[in-house]
Structure 1
């Protein structure tokens, strides 16, 4: 199909004359300009029909996704103008951490944002936020999914701890090698299990394979066992923060740093990152963890 207004056989094509004909050429010219800039044909043009090329079909899909994001951003802005965030907020939260440090805060968030409803899943499984249509997730450790918008809201650290009664009975280890003579509680969820890796202030690294009377993949069970004096435990500070604060557990080998990666993050699918309800929750929970997270308060 030639450009509207061109001549064929000495006669103008329909619509080729007058102001209307000149106006009708504008979309065609813009399309040709776009094809020239991209260096590829987007349409198959034949006498009496026009259809998308393979490149044109792919281009259209991507453009529609962009327009959908724009619509969502406009809707989010309108929600602010209409009184604030609203609608269903779907949260993916890690099991133990979520129950301890996020779950108790949800009623406070709902009181502040009464037009928001929350559907929260507490699980340690990997959640695909995009495929499963979650708005926000809280994740621990290192992040790898480049499709997500991530915001670090807290740091974490690992440590060794034990009950005062256990240390009174068995003595306090002064070196990593001394752990071999102690009852050590094993968390099978650690990648290095049953080894504990640590580094001192001079950068010396030590790897000790420990053993003891209890191994489990449930960290809360290990905390209770440690409190009751069953053995030494390697833990993350958020998990034993309350027990350390009230003295039921005390740190050991404090001059040694245990290997750990990552932090605590709020993550969002990039296409939903600007929704009012999503941004409101991310900002709100970040403030609750600043300047120090609650387990260090």
Structure 2
């Protein structure tokens, strides 16, 4: 069924991803659909969509709630990074093992913030344990601390790609797989999904395609 989209879309999204990547998309969607109103809540805390009356949420990583429908809209790579200044002062970091006990800037909402798993190019799995210097529930804080030379960070590329591409952060062991995070749109199981919700999910999936811009890392030579 065609027709103009209208009504309110209540959306929850993680703070950093929401500001960097969902906010510009919302602007474009609302320009194309002037009758749609959007309420967005930005928080890294997992909320109960149904209890709190949200139509849609963006979730990154492992999904837990089976009462929701999930549509994968994109992916992001995890990548350890440090500033050129930190690497110069600390000494070269050429292997994953070199990260053991290095000052780490860690994401507190992770199940094992100071343990970073990886797979080498030849398929060997391992884990490094960093020394937890700064813990935060927000990735921007950690990225900026890494740029300031306080330690090594291991965050999704959607937070790091600009700093990597402009040379303020150096990616480490880029040939290793530091795990890939799936990005989902999740919504309650309902007999009829409002057209505005479906249209916004499709819009996100189109914009965040299978090879999103944040995964196209081009470090300065």
Structure 1 match to 2:63: 143
Cα deviation for residue 227 of structure 1 reads 0.7
Match runs of 1:17-32 below 5 Å = none
CA distance in structure 2 between the partners assigned to 1:92 and 1:271 by the alignment: 18
Alpha-carbon deviations, 1:222-267, whole Å to 9, x = none? 111111122211111111121112221121122322245x400112
Match runs of 1:41-190 below 5 Å = 77=1, 80=2, 83-180=3-100, 182-190=102-110
- 1:284 partnered with 2:200: no
Bigger proportion of residues as helix: 1
- 1:270 partnered with 2:175: no
Deviates more, 1:285-294 or 1:236-245: 285-294
Bigger proportion of residues as strand: 2
Structure 2 match to 1:207: 127
**Higher alpha-carbon Rg:** 1
- 1:246 partnered with 2:166: yes
Cα deviation for residue 212 of structure 1 reads 5.0
Q: Name the TM-score, length of structure 1 as normaliser.
A: 0.67
Structure 1 match to 2:219: none
Q: Name the TM-score, length of structure 2 as normaliser.
A: 0.88
Cα deviation for residue 281 of structure 1 reads 0.7
Alpha-carbon deviations, 1:202-221, whole Å to 9, x = none? 22222222115433333211
CA distance in structure 1 between the partners assigned to 2:122 and 2:72 by the alignment: 29
Cα deviation for residue 127 of structure 1 reads 2.0
Deviates more, 1:244-253 or 1:264-273: 264-273
Q: Give yes or no for contact 2:15–2:138 (8 Å, CA) kept in 1.
A: no
Residues 1:105 and 1:231: Cα distance change in structure 2 (over 3 Å)? same
Cα deviation for residue 272 of structure 1 reads 6.0
Q: Point out where structure 2 has 5 or more consecutive residues left out of the alignment.
A: 217-221
Match runs of 1:8-23 below 5 Å = none
Q: Point out where structure 1 has 5 or more consecutive residues left out of the alignment.
A: 1-76
Q: Give yes or no for contact 1:161–1:249 (8 Å, CA) kept in 2.
A: yes
CA distance in structure 1 between the partners assigned to 2:200 and 2:42 by the alignment: 17
Aligned length: 216
Secondary structure at the aligned position of 1:156 is classed as strand
- 1:295 partnered with 2:221: no
Larger relative contact order, structure 1 or 2 (CA cutoff 8 Å, min sep 6):
2
